[in-house]
Structure 1
Amino acid sequence: MNRKTLVLPAVVGLLTPVLAACGGSDSGSSSSGAIVVGTTDGFTATKDAPAPLDPAYSYDVGGWNILRQTVQTLMSQPKGEGDPVPDAAESCSFTDSGSERYACKLREGLKFSDGNAVTAEDVKWSIERALRIKSDSDVFALLSNIDTIETQGDREVIFHLKSADATFPYKLSTPVAGIVNPKDYEKDKLRDGFDIDGSGPYTFKAEVKDNNFVSGTFTKNPNYKGSVKVKNEQVVMRFFEDAASMGEAINKGDIDVMTRSMSPSQINKLDAGDDSNVDLVEMSGLEIRYLGFNTNAPSVKDKAVRQAMAQVINRDELVAKVYGSQAQPLYSLVPASVTGHSNSFFNKYGDPSVSKAKNLLAAANITTPVKLTLHYTTDHYGPATKQEFEVLKQQLDASGLFDVSIQGTAWTTYQTAERKGRYDVYGMGWFPDFPDPDNFLAPFLDKDNFLKSPYLNSKIINTLIPESRREADRASATGTLTEIQNTVADDVPVLPLWQGKQYVAARNDITGVAYTLNSSSSLQLWELSRGSSS
Structure 2
Amino acid sequence: MNRKTLVLPAVAGLLAPLLAACGGSEGDRAIVVGTTDQFIATEDAPAPLDPAYAYDTGAWNVLRQTVQTLLHVPREGGEPVPEAAESCGFSDKASGSYRCTLRPGLTFADGTPITAEDVKYSIERVLKIKSDNGTAALLSNIDTVETQGTDGIVFHLKTPDATFPYKLSTPVAGILSKDKYPGDGLRDGFDVDGSGPYTMKVEREGDKVGRFVFTRNPKYKGDITPRNDKVELRPFADSAAMGKALESKDIDMMARSLSQKQIKDLAEKPKEGIKTVEVPGLEIRYLGFNTKAPSVEQKAVRQAMAAVVDRGALVSLVYGPTAQPLYSLIPSSITGHATPFFDAYGEPDRDRAAQILKKAGIKTPVKITLNYTTDHYGAETAQEFEALGKQLTASELFDVTVKGTEWSTFRTAQKRGDYAVYGLGWFPDYPDPDNYIAPFLDSDNFLNTPYVNTVVRDQLIPRSRRQADRTAAAPVYAQIQKIVAEDVPVLPLWQGKQYVAARDDLSGVEYALNTSSDLLLWELGRGTA
TM over 0.5: yes
| Aligned match of 1:436 | 432
| Aligned match of 2:251 | 255
Q: 2: CA distance between counterparts of 1:486 and 1:523?
A: 34
| Aligned match of 1:102 | 98
Q: 1:100 to 1:328 in 2, by over 3 A?
A: same
The reply on whether 1:391 has 2:392 as its aligned counterpart is no
| Aligned match of 2:190 | 194
Which letter maps to 2:218? P
Give 1:353's match in structure 2, choosing from 325, 349, 353: 349
Q: 2: CA distance between counterparts of 1:11 and 1:116?
A: 39
Q: 2: CA distance between counterparts of 1:225 and 1:311?
A: 53
Give 2:67's match in structure 1, choosing from 68, 71, 85: 71
The reply on whether 1:314 has 2:336 as its aligned counterpart is no
Deviation at 1:32, TM superposition (A): 2.1
The reply on whether 1:169 has 2:165 as its aligned counterpart is yes
Secondary structure of the residue that 2:459 maps to in structure 1?
Answer: helix
Secondary structure of the residue that 2:201 maps to in structure 1?
Answer: strand
Aligned runs of 1:45-444 on 2, under 5 Å? 45-444=41-440
Calculate the TM-score normalised by the size of structure 1: 0.94
Q: 2: CA distance between counterparts of 1:447 and 1:126?
A: 22
Asked whether the 8 Å contact 2:6–2:76 carries over to 1, the reply is: no
CA deviation digits over 1:237-270, x for unaligned, max 9? Answer: 1111111111100000000010111111011111
Q: 1: CA distance between counterparts of 2:273 and 2:404?
A: 35
Secondary structure of the residue that 2:224 maps to in structure 1?
Answer: coil
Q: 2: CA distance between counterparts of 1:243 and 1:521?
A: 16
| Aligned match of 2:13 | none
Deviation at 1:150, TM superposition (A): 0.5
Q: 1: CA distance between counterparts of 2:4 and 2:512?
A: 12
Q: 1: CA distance between counterparts of 2:293 and 2:505?
A: 53
Secondary structure of the residue that 1:485 maps to in structure 2?
Answer: helix
Secondary structure of the residue that 1:285 maps to in structure 2?
Answer: coil
Which letter maps to 1:278? I
Q: CA RMSD in A?
A: 1.3
Asked whether the 8 Å contact 1:79–1:515 carries over to 2, the reply is: yes
Deviation at 1:304, TM superposition (A): 0.3
Give 1:506's match in structure 2, choosing from 498, 502, 509: 502
Unpaired segments ≥5 residues, structure 2: 9-25
Deviation at 1:11, TM superposition (A): 7.6
Secondary structure of the residue that 1:286 maps to in structure 2?
Answer: coil
| Aligned match of 2:21 | none
CA deviation digits over 1:259-315, x for unaligned, max 9? Answer: 111111011111113312111110110000000000000000000000000000000
Q: 2: CA distance between counterparts of 1:494 and 1:11?
A: 30
Deviation at 1:31, TM superposition (A): 4.9
Asked whether the 8 Å contact 2:4–2:334 carries over to 1, the reply is: no
Asked whether the 8 Å contact 2:6–2:77 carries over to 1, the reply is: no
Secondary structure of the residue that 1:316 maps to in structure 2?
Answer: helix
Secondary structure of the residue that 1:228 maps to in structure 2?
Answer: coil
Asked whether the 8 Å contact 1:31–1:233 carries over to 2, the reply is: no
Give 2:483's match in structure 1, choosing from 473, 481, 487: 487
Calculate the TM-score normalised by the size of structure 2: 0.95
Which letter maps to 1:242? D
Secondary structure of the residue that 1:149 maps to in structure 2?
Answer: strand
Asked whether the 8 Å contact 1:11–1:337 carries over to 2, the reply is: no
Q: 2: CA distance between counterparts of 1:483 and 1:428?
A: 24
Which letter maps to 1:385? T
Number of equivalent positions: 510
Which letter maps to 2:312? D
Q: 1: CA distance between counterparts of 2:27 and 2:135?
A: 35
Q: 1:357 to 1:462 in 2, by over 3 A?
A: same
Asked whether the 8 Å contact 1:9–1:284 carries over to 2, the reply is: no
Q: 2: CA distance between counterparts of 1:230 and 1:310?
A: 46
CA deviation digits over 1:206-225, x for unaligned, max 9? Answer: 11121111100000011111
Asked whether the 8 Å contact 2:4–2:78 carries over to 1, the reply is: no
* Worse-superposed segment, 268-277 or 171-180: 268-277
Asked whether the 8 Å contact 1:76–1:173 carries over to 2, the reply is: yes
CA deviation digits over 1:183-213, x for unaligned, max 9? Answer: 1111111000000000001011111121111
Asked whether the 8 Å contact 2:134–2:446 carries over to 1, the reply is: yes
Deviation at 1:136, TM superposition (A): 1.1
The reply on whether 1:497 has 2:516 as its aligned counterpart is no
| Aligned match of 2:473 | 477
Q: 1: CA distance between counterparts of 2:375 and 2:60?
A: 17
Which letter maps to 1:521? S
Deviation at 1:43, TM superposition (A): 1.0
Unpaired segments ≥5 residues, structure 1: 1-6, 13-29
Deviation at 1:339, TM superposition (A): 1.6
Q: 1: CA distance between counterparts of 2:315 and 2:442?
A: 29
CA deviation digits over 1:353-400, x for unaligned, max 9? Answer: 001000000000010011110000000000000000011011111111
The reply on whether 1:32 has 2:31 as its aligned counterpart is no
Q: 2: CA distance between counterparts of 1:138 and 1:287?
A: 18
Secondary structure of the residue that 1:387 maps to in structure 2?
Answer: helix
Deviation at 1:142, TM superposition (A): 0.2
Which letter maps to 1:362? K
- Between the aligned residues of both structures, percent identity stands at 60
